[in-house]
Copies of this chain bind each other. A is one copy, B any other.
Amino acid sequence: MRAALLPMAFDDGVFPAGCPSRTLLDHVTSKWGVLLLIALSEGEQRWSDLRRRAEGISEKMLAQTLKTLERDGLVSRKAQPVIPPRVDYSLTDRGYELSALLVPLAAWAFDHAEEIINGAVPAK
């Protein structure tokens, strides 16, 4: 029941404070990071599309989060020097790899959300 689920050496993995994996995990599991990565898993999208899909995000956080994800090599940005400007965002290969792990998570959250949040927790 509590099999060795964890790739061992995990104690030297995500858990030590200040290790790179913590930082990356924080980027990726950030409030808006998850949402944007999932949205982008459906394919290339424009700034305004993302702004609409990640309902409630501010422009500041959208820019900031996309930049972080881009620096992490998860998102690629293609700007076209036209007027009006057009910028497309998409996942890199590595980003797709990651989103494949994120999507089930979001699906799980979606499935269990109501029964869990509305105190109807079956206990045990």
Q: Tell me the A residues contacting B by CB distance below 8 Å.
A: 1-2, 5-7, 10-11, 13-21, 23-26, 28-31, 34-35, 38-39, 41-44, 53-56, 71-73, 76, 92, 94, 96-110, 112-114, 116-119, 121-124
CB distance from A100 to the nearest CB of B (A): 7
B5 and A42 contact, CB distance less than 8 A: yes
Q: SS class of chain A's interface: helix, strand, loop or mixed?
A: helix
**Given A2-B43, A24-B117, A73-B116: A10 touches B110 (CB 8 Å cut-off):** yes
B residues less than 8 Å from A6 (CB atoms): 38, 41-42, 103, 107
B residues less than 8 Å from A123 (CB atoms): 73
